[in-house]
Structure 1
Amino acid sequence: MPSARAAHLGMLVWAALVGLSFPVVGWLGELPPLSLTALRFAIACLGLAPLIRRVPGFWPGWRALPWFAAMGLCLAGFFGAMFWAAHHATALSMATLYVTVPLLAYAMGLGLGVERRSWRLPGILALGALGALGLALAEAVTGDGAWRLGRGEAVFFLGCLCSALYPVLSKRGLGAGRLPASAAVRTFWSLALGGALIGLAGLALEPVTRLTTMTWRDGLLIVYLGLCSSALTFWLMQRATAVLTPGAITAYGYLVPFVSMLLLFVEAPSRLGWAWLPGSALVLLAIALLRRHDAPAPRRTD
């Protein structure tokens, strides 16, 4: 089991990888999103296989399969929505919508008994959400200034609901003794079952033959997304689940629009301005308070 400090550091890496994935998805061609998600999950499982083949308890047992199926559906719902919305919404607007996930996860966690009722964590989450909204306002001020809720944003918000439920189910399953202790095993089976389910949906609903139009560049991007933005990010999340609550884990989503903002400045330095400062400061303050909130209490020496 990792320490709280190691879990927080891992989630910082998670935030960077997730923030980078939004523009990468936008670089892909118009490919069927469900089939593309299934392919991405399959690549992630292949990457995880060498890590778990010698882990005791690789086969989790039949009691765990319903949990993994539900977790897999959450992953499939999020990534399917992300692939589809990537061509109907901007990368920064998707990253900004993603900041609803921590508050959603906290509310779901309260309902399933894996979060404690308190004022500090919701306050930190609200502070981070306010900072993320500040980043969205800065995008409107420095960009075209158009605020709208289109189909792309609506579909992606449904994906955010799925994303919020994933760590809640993981924490609940661990607490109930239904899920294995290994983070790699939990990641592998949730991705495997999620990929199988979304693949079947893709066969039924999409023109799978369009995958033959994939270029070598698309292929490289899918391999990167499968290994780094699926296998690694969800392993980091599962690893943190052992010591952090769902609200604390998903709070690192507040750094995602911050990463997207930094990428935007690289692509368009002329958009750099003071409008981005308030939101950025609030997001960074929320993450600092979160780490302090989950820091272990000092030992008494008397």
Structure 2
Amino acid sequence: MKINYSNPHFLMLLYTVLVSGSFHIGHVLVNYMDSTVLTFVRFLLGSVLFGVYVFPRYKVRLPSLSDLARYFAISASMIFYFWAMFEALRYTTPLNTAITYTVVPLFSAVYGIFLLKERVSFVKFAVLFAAMLGAVWVIIDGSLSRLAELDFNKGDLIFLAGCLCIGLYSPLSKKLHKTEPMPVLTLWTMITGTVWLLLIANVKILKINFSALDTAFFAGVAYITVFATIATFFIVQYSSKKLPVSEVMSYIYLTPVFVIIIQALIGKRLPHTAVIPGVAASVVATFYFLRS
């Protein structure tokens, strides 16, 4: 069977695989350095590589103070999410982060109601809420007693806070976007995010001996930057022009499935059967949005 590589559904499946892989790669990278420095490296390289694409194709002008304020506000939600992802992976598993990631559409929908005055149907909100419950079920490892004791993993709570922030990214970008092309907005968001992180982690950055880092680290950072950041941006931008927003968003719910597949391929321990209902909720949510 011949694959149509320009098919937006194929590309969104590729997007889901790339994002799923980033949780496993991030789990390895956190052993090398502080989460803030790691996030800085990701944003710095992303800004450089994305700038190579944007500057020759668009009229990029120095932003005004009001524009900078917009970009700094948008980037704040991004940098906290990526910091939270790396920090959370010190204490929790890639599967837990992938499942928790599925609550982002719910958070975005709620933010959209207040920031953009968008309307969300009861059925759609119910499906989003069911996906969130699936995430909670995996976080508590399928144990109601653990839920009753509020015995959550520290990493799960950190990443949940990160998801609260990244859920704000899409509606905030829409709210603050003016006339500039979206790639230009994204570039300045990454640059201002780099500045945020430079201000926060300046001393820690200076203490890192980058020459002592091995090939595995640089390969991991390259994957996170090129595939999980830049490539996914272009995939979502292209697919959003071909598909309804609900269909693009629905692929997020397949992330836990691909994380489990990757775990099996690399020989990692598979999750307990008790968490299957949580994963199933993610799959059902995906097919609901695809059908609707």
Normalized against structure 1, the TM-score is what?
Answer: 0.78
Question: Could you say which residue in structure 1 is the equivalent of 2:89?
Answer: 86
Question: Could you say which residue in structure 2 is the equivalent of 1:101?
Answer: 104
2:82 partner SS = helix
How big is each residue's C-alpha offset from its partner over 1:27-77, in whole Å with a ceiling of 9 and x where there is no partner? 123302112111111211222233212323333742432222112111111
1:115-154 superposed matches below 5 A: 115-133=118-136, 148-154=151-157
Mapped to 2, the partners of 1:238 and 1:107 lie a distance apart of 22
The one of 63, 68, 72 equivalent to 1:69 is 72
In structure 2, the CA distance between the partners of 1:278 and 1:288, relative to structure 1 (3 Å rule), is same
Question: Could you say which residue in structure 2 is the equivalent of 1:297?
Answer: none
Question: Could you say which residue in structure 1 is the equivalent of 2:50?
Answer: 48
Aligned pair 1:218/2:221, yes or no? no
Question: Could you say which residue in structure 1 is the equivalent of 2:228?
Answer: 229
1:215-294 superposed matches below 5 A: 215-238=214-237, 250-268=249-267, 271=270, 278-293=277-292
Question: Could you say which residue in structure 2 is the equivalent of 1:111?
Answer: 114
CA contact (8 A) 1:101 1:250 kept: no
Question: Could you say which residue in structure 2 is the equivalent of 1:298?
Answer: none
How big is each residue's C-alpha offset from its partner over 1:254-281, in whole Å with a ceiling of 9 and x where there is no partner? 2221111112222448848876664444
CA contact (8 A) 2:142 2:275 kept: no
2:208 partner SS = helix
- CA displacement at 1:25 relative to structure 2: 0.9
CA contact (8 A) 2:46 2:225 kept: yes
Structure 2 counterpart of 1:14, which letter?
Answer: Y
1:13-32 superposed matches below 5 A: 13-28=14-29, 29-32=31-34
Question: Could you say which residue in structure 1 is the equivalent of 2:61?
Answer: 59
Question: Could you say which residue in structure 1 is the equivalent of 2:180?
Answer: 180
CA contact (8 A) 2:109 2:120 kept: no
Question: Could you say which residue in structure 2 is the equivalent of 1:164?
Answer: 167
Mapped to 1, the partners of 2:122 and 2:62 lie a distance apart of 37
Mapped to 2, the partners of 1:8 and 1:284 lie a distance apart of 15
- CA displacement at 1:244 relative to structure 2: 5.4
Structure 2 counterpart of 1:233, which letter?
Answer: T
Mapped to 2, the partners of 1:214 and 1:135 lie a distance apart of 34
Mapped to 2, the partners of 1:268 and 1:85 lie a distance apart of 22
Mapped to 1, the partners of 2:32 and 2:129 lie a distance apart of 36
- CA displacement at 1:105 relative to structure 2: 0.9
1:27 partner SS = helix
Normalized against structure 2, the TM-score is what?
Answer: 0.81
Mapped to 2, the partners of 1:249 and 1:173 lie a distance apart of 22
How many residues are matched? 280
Greater Cα shift, 105-114 or 281-290: 281-290
Mapped to 1, the partners of 2:41 and 2:153 lie a distance apart of 27
Greater Cα shift, 116-125 or 223-232: 116-125
Structure 2 counterpart of 1:180, which letter?
Answer: E
Mapped to 2, the partners of 1:273 and 1:31 lie a distance apart of 31
- Aligned residues: CA RMSD: 3.3
- CA displacement at 1:191 relative to structure 2: 1.1
Mapped to 1, the partners of 2:244 and 2:69 lie a distance apart of 23
Mapped to 2, the partners of 1:121 and 1:8 lie a distance apart of 21
Mapped to 1, the partners of 2:197 and 2:27 lie a distance apart of 20
- Structure 2 segments unaligned to the other structure (5+ residues): 1-5, 144-148
In structure 2, the CA distance between the partners of 1:30 and 1:148, relative to structure 1 (3 Å rule), is farther
In structure 2, the CA distance between the partners of 1:202 and 1:266, relative to structure 1 (3 Å rule), is same
In structure 2, the CA distance between the partners of 1:106 and 1:17, relative to structure 1 (3 Å rule), is same
- Structure 1 segments unaligned to the other structure (5+ residues): 294-302
In structure 2, the CA distance between the partners of 1:150 and 1:99, relative to structure 1 (3 Å rule), is same
Mapped to 1, the partners of 2:80 and 2:269 lie a distance apart of 36
CA contact (8 A) 2:131 2:282 kept: yes
In structure 2, the CA distance between the partners of 1:251 and 1:194, relative to structure 1 (3 Å rule), is farther
In structure 2, the CA distance between the partners of 1:272 and 1:34, relative to structure 1 (3 Å rule), is closer
Structure 1 counterpart of 2:23, which letter?
Answer: F
Q: Percent identity?
A: 23
